[in-house]
Every structure is written in structure tokens, then in C-alpha cells.
Structure 1
Amino acid sequence: MATKIRAALAHVLWLACVLCALVLAVGALLVALDANTSNALVDAVLQAATVVDLDVFSRKEGIKQFGGEGAEVKNALFNWGLGAIAWLVVGRILDRVVKP
């Protein structure tokens, strides 16, 4: 019984981390495509990405800040891309630790 619960928990943790990575990747894509931020769906994805970047991978004050032309797109792609990779790595580690 405990084995099944641990396996289910590991699966849920992995899925949550994958969803966070997906939100960051889609958010970076929307910034790169210069999507209409007055659209409710686009705004919701960008807000969600801002939450799951944990201010470590922020596109405005993240790990690396670019300047000049296209800086906003570069910042989003670099920082949110790294954030997505970090979520996947953490998710895989949690999956391996929790799974029996």
C-alpha cells in the first residue's frame, strides 16, 4: 500500500514540475512572438510564468540580463528557459527520491 502511495506521489510531483516548466516555456514563446498582452489568456500565462520563475529566473531581474535591441526577448528566453530546465531537473530528482 505504501509503495503505491509513494509511486503516485512521485508521479504527481513530476507532473507538477513538468507543468511549471511548460508554463515558463510557453511564456517565453509568447514574449518572443510579441503576443498581445491585453488578451486574457496571454496575460494569464505570463502571470503564471512570473509566479513559477520564483524570482530566481525572472525575466526582469533574473540570472542574466541582456541590454540593447531585443533585450526583453533575450531575457525571457534565457531566464525562463533556464527556469524550465531547472524545474525539469528538480522534478526528476524528486521523482527518483520519492519513488520506491
Structure 2
Amino acid sequence: MSRSSAVRTRVAQVVWVVAVVCALLLAVGALLIALDANQHNALVKFVLDAADVLDLEVFSRGNGIFEFHGGDAATKNALANWGLAAIAYLVVGRVLERVIRP
């Protein structure tokens, strides 16, 4: 294996791991919203803040693709929009990984 192939393989692995971590943060954030976790807890706050940054405004809780109203709207918004964002990160991450890998 040439040096450039080894570098491309390593970069592809890093891209895939980053995509999986982003999707995991979004999924855990949606779960924390659904479980009505204590948002004053530092770890919960960190995960929710990270998920808010990763949602790219297209999949945001308050103004995303899906906007539910009424009872449990915040939970439905988080599950639908952040769930879609997690899937998008996984799909884009896999495509990029396949393009980069030699």
C-alpha cells in the first residue's frame, strides 16, 4: 500500500468516525428531550448544546423541517428533526468515506 493510499484510508476513517459521533450526539440529544432529562445537568446541557450546533438550522428543534404544535411538541420536534439530521450525517459521512477511500 502506497503512502498516499494509507493517508486517504486514514482520512476516510476519520471522516466516518466524525459523522458517527455527530449522529450519536443528535440521537442522544433527542432521547434526552424525550426523557425530559434535567437540563441543568452539565452533561445533558453539553449534549443538547452540541446537538443544537449540529442541527445546521435545517433540522432545528424550533424551526426545522417538521414543526409540531400542541402537547409534547418539543419532544416530537426533537425526535423528528434531530432523527433526520442523524440519518443525514450518517449518509453523507458514508458517501464521503467511500469517495475518499482509495
The TM-score range, normalised by the shorter chain, is: over 0.9
The separation in 2 between residues aligned to 1:56 and 1:99, in whole angstroms, is 29
Superposed CA RMSD? 0.4
Which residues of structure 1 form unaligned runs of 5+?
none
The separation in 2 between residues aligned to 1:80 and 1:46, in whole angstroms, is 11
Q: For residues 39-95 of structure 1, what are the alpha-carbon distances to aligned partners after superposition, in whole Å with 9 as ceiling and x for unaligned?
A: 011000000000111111101110010011010000000000000000000000000
State the identity %.
60
User: Given the two structures, how large is their TM-score scaled by the length of structure 1?
Assistant: 0.99
Q: 1:88 aligns with which of 87, 90, 96?
A: 90
Q: Which residue of 1 aligns with 2:28?
A: 26
> How far did residue 17 of structure 1 move?
0.4
User: Given the two structures, how large is their TM-score scaled by the length of structure 2?
Assistant: 0.97
Which residues of structure 2 form unaligned runs of 5+?
none
Runs of 4+ in 1 over 3 A off after TM superposition: none
